[in-house]
Structure 1
Amino acid sequence: MLISLNDTLSWHVSVEDDRFRLSDFLLDPDTHRPVYMILDLGGWFETDHALVAVSLMQHPDLDSGMLPLAIRADELRQAPHWREEKGGLSSLLTSLPPLVVGPFGATHAPLAMAVEGMGDTSQDDVDGDPAAQEALTRYERFTDWRDKPVFARDGEVGRLSDILHDIENGEISHFVVDSGHEEGGQVLAIPSALLRHHAETEKGGHIVLNTGIEAIRTAPRVGENEKLTGGWQPALKRHFALAT
């Protein structure tokens, strides 16, 4: 079964009776396989994140956008985790005046009160545990791949808009490329077997395919509503002369 990594970022995952937002994937830079999901566990001043192995995915409910995970709530609490300050908090705190004179002449400091209200948060809580930090350093975020330029052997062909992931074998199945030539309701899916090179994010993050511009231009397009069915894959393999 295929899933769209881009679509899943608008889904929720279910762990027993709890629901959490799926915010990103971590990809192995060597095999390009999705390894971890990043879950947003919520939080008030900070957002709690946890890493859960992609192998724990179960078949999703595409209609409701719900992805069940084969993990218990107590196991999720033990998963690698870290906290990030919510983006709006810094701007809120910096906008508060350092000292305010009240209507009866008393003074108070809203900034100090806000910081005090946050409670004591250790550096370890903010940075997360070592396992999470190691994974975030080693692996690449899907959202860092998205919208990066895609090149054929003889020139640029578009930008990466999505990745199709095969739940059954844990592999990336296809890259979805926006070439600017797709008609409404159609997408261009390129077999992952054609991946020749993916540059590190620091070097632009571009993708190079082992095929030519003409082969991509004439490749059969896939209907947006059919991209997860997989029935179009044999024709695409024949077009690119890949083993079926």
Structure 2
Amino acid sequence: MAMNRRTFSIAALAGAASTFISGGALRAASAPVSARNVVLAHGLFADGSCWLDVIARLQAAGMNCTAVQNPLTTLPEAAASVNRVLDRQDGPTVLVAHSFAGMVITETGIHKSVSSLVYVAARAPDAGEDYTALAKTYPAPPASAGVVFDGDEGRLSEDAFLRDFAADLPESRARTLYAVQEPFHKALLTGKTVNAAWRSKPSFYAVSTDDRTINPDLQRFMARRMGARTIELKASHVSLISHPDEISRLILEAAGRAI
């Protein structure tokens, strides 16, 4: 779909598909600092291309965007990949994560360039928290049964990818995304964050209500705990692809550019 700033603005003004919920006062400030930079981090079963639809909309709105290629090896290495990109930013930056990458932005969001955080159906642990133990306090999501390992490398089976990860996408699109999923290393899942950037930075959260990869009630708990500005979308785990307009608007709000 061809877009320019005018068409994006019209879409943003007309959009009413999602409902904003007050999760509490924004951390650190009543309103986010104005930013023109956006850094986006992907999670498991994906690569940086999962952000393409959102990036196109943000660029049409005048934002400078960079998608990080998360190595999916260890949490420290994933954090280092984000910090290298943050070091290259020339001013306030919105740091965005999908899924597992919420661990990464929770760790790296203390970077001096980061003005706000956006979590898209993402993990949001506290400092030193055992996320796996936290997740086990909620019913297991169906996708967890679809993870398969080849030695130390894990990936999502095609059936689970189509049914539980990207259920609200056209099958042809979901199969394309399945073909580019990046395997993750078992060591990645053992990492714990040292920092909890959401305790000091304004935070935003997009809950996927039909998520079969991270329990929606767990998402709501994490959003509420961080006092995030929260939206709920009737979406699968990949709301950044099935609902790019809503996710882009949330990021623009986090950049102090709400329309």
Q: Indicate whether the TM-score tops 0.5.
A: no
TM score, norm. by length of structure 2: 0.23
Higher helix share: 2
Task: Please identify which structure carries the higher strand content.
Answer: 1
Larger radius of gyration: 1
